[in-house]
Structure 1
């Protein structure tokens, strides 16, 4: 089975290393100094389990040099999806499947609008990893899991075959009973923690210590749960409670990546997190005042700026 990564940051870089180490045919799309480092020394993964190096079959900034593959692993920032989607086209053969691992709940639909119906699965993942330097991925978490299935939530032979190939390379890959539930469970946490820590310029410890911030987090979680149920995804109140319990147990210094992006003046994914909750809720006739306010507060910085 032939894989290609678009692009090759942390989420996809982990997969590239594991698949290459496992003997799979992997091609990596990258650019600049990161690309040159991969070409020269391979892609290094440094984490709690030690250090490993994956050497893809080809590393390039030209998808045309890769050609058609069986599986495109697609992981970019949500705001970069529309610009990156055309990079998949030279990689597409008659049976090619694209699996997005992006933040938010809209990536697969957005990607399908570029690539055509039936070509995109739904995907989500859990991993804490970042690009430490060109060619080196620093993994902070002791876990890394990837889940995917058909967009309607069903399991399929093609999804199972891809998961099997990944597991053979040591990746924790699962085709769940309902990928939509998995996607929205992650969204409960992601949109809430991202929104509150970014708009509040605060940490998980601040949320834990402040009744007002704790109440805001609870409102954010409740708005997402209501939206999920309105769109037909069976998110339970128990899922909401577990999310708040998890936030209450985080290390005090924990902050979402969007809060760190805000500090650094980088573009924000707010349009696809709190902004999406507000927008999609309105389309369902629901109100989401907590997320609407967070999106408004972060709007001046959505394209990135310092100060």
Structure 2
């Protein structure tokens, strides 16, 4: 049986790792002491629209690892990548594969350099979920989706094995043969939404109620879509239509997790999303004034947060 290590048991790691464990997979969670104590006491509780799960995880928790696993699932915030790499390094052996479910693209360069590109699968999570104050996980998706795929032919066999395992769990699974395009699609989606929300400081509905909000939202979409095209991964017509409709919907309460974190005074994935998109645009010689403004807003927020 494939031995799986999940870094963290927060909203994403806890949801997918917990449902894998529920389905009979061999899952171990690498967690901090505070989270371990809470999970030992309360178990891993997952609330979904269709069913609640109360999963006993006391025997599946560790605070450090000292042996390799077959698969390591990374589900941390992108700004915690350096710390995450230190934590999982003992778990990455000659035959280990790593499935990152982080936002953005920048982490692939770091993981490839650290562990070797042959070990790093392409992956992303699509799940509207949060970890609540009592440590339980609330998901509004029906169900949450994991999209993954090989980044080289050498990973094909392992990905087929992984698909078989994932399909046993009550989650949505997409085994993509074009994973880099899928990653760019999500990179554009979350960067566009984050840039719009954080630059204009409101939900999509709030912004659409202003005089120029629609024009600015469409301009940010164009800047990100142009960057994806310049990188060789143009957005499909369906993806572009979805962006344009969802980011300009009147009355919508749509907000990004980055904006919600910003409103709560938390750390944000500014460098990994808006900042990285801006760098890629500049490298391609593109003009992106609204991405610049959004990133400047986020940098100012982060600087003020550090001072407080």
TM-score, shorter chain, exceeding 0.5: yes
Q: What's 1:79 paired with?
A: 79
| Matching residue of 1:15 | 16
Q: Which runs of 5+ in 2 are unaligned?
A: none
1:63 to 56, 62, 65: 65
Q: How far did 1:238 drift?
A: 4.3
Aligned residue for 1:299? 299
Residue aligned with 2:143, SS: strand
Which residue of 2 is the match for residue 27 of structure 1? 28
Aligned to 1:228: 228
Aligned pairs, number = 305
8 A contact 2:118–2:155 mirrored in 1: no
Between 248-257 and 277-286, the greater mean CA deviation after superposition: 248-257
The alignment's C-alpha RMSD in Å is 2.2
Residues 152, 194 of structure 1: alpha-carbon distance in 2 compared, 3 angstrom cutoff? farther
| Shift of residue 152, structure 1, vs aligned partner | 5.5
- Identify the residue that residue 274 of structure 1 maps to in structure 2: 274
- Is the aligned partner of 1:244 residue 2:244? yes
Residue 239 (structure 1) shift: 2.3
Aligned-partner Cα distance in 2 for 1:248–1:50: 33
Secondary structure, aligned partner of 2:102 = coil
Post-superposition Cα deviations, 1:151-182, rounded to whole Å, max 9, x if no partner, equal 36997121121121011122222211311221
Q: 1:72 to 1:155 in 2, by over 3 A?
A: closer
1:257 aligns to what?
Answer: 257
Runs of 4+ more than 4 Å apart: 152-155
Q: For the Cα contact (< 8 Å) 2:224–2:277, is it kept in 1? A: yes
Q: Does 1:111 align with 2:94?
A: no
Say whether the 8 Å CA contact 1:123–1:146 is kept in structure 2: yes
Secondary structure at 2:208's aligned position in 1?
Answer: helix
Residues in 2 aligned to 1:281 and 1:268: alpha-carbon distance in whole angstroms: 21
Report the Cα offset of residue 96 of structure 1: 0.7
State the 1:116 CA deviation. Answer: 2.1
CA gap of 1:210–1:240, structure 2 versus 1, over 3 A, is farther
Residues 211-266 of structure 1, C-alpha deviation per residue, up to 9 Å, x if partnerless? Answer: 52221121111111111121111323542222111234486322211111111111
CA shift digits 1:15-73 (9 cap, x unpaired): 12111111111000111432112123321101212310223442122123xx3211111
Q: Which residue of 2 aligns with 1:51?
A: 52
Higher strand proportion (structure 1 or 2): 1
Contact 1:153–1:177 (8 Å) recurs in 2 = no
* Gaps in structure 1 of 5+ consecutive residues: none
TM-score of the aligned structures, taking structure 1 as reference length: 0.92
TM-score of the superposition, structure 2-length normalised? Answer: 0.91
Question: Partners in 2 of 1:277 and 1:292 — Cα distance?
Answer: 10
CA drift of 1:134 comes to: 4.7
CA distance in 1, matches of 2:97, 2:155: 14
Q: Determine the C-alpha separation between the residues in 1 that align with 2:216 and 2:298.
A: 16
Residue 210 to residue 180, structure 1, CA distance change in 2 (3 Å)? farther
Match of 1:27, SS state, is strand
Q: Tell me the alpha carbon deviations over residues 103-140 of structure 1, each in whole angstroms, 9 at most, x when there is no partner.
A: 11222222222222311111111101111035411113
Contact 1:197 1:255 in 2 (8 A): yes
Partner of 1:44, secondary structure, is strand
Q: Residues of 1 paired with 2:161 and 2:229: CA distance?
A: 30
Distance in 1 separating the partners of 2:147 and 2:249: 24
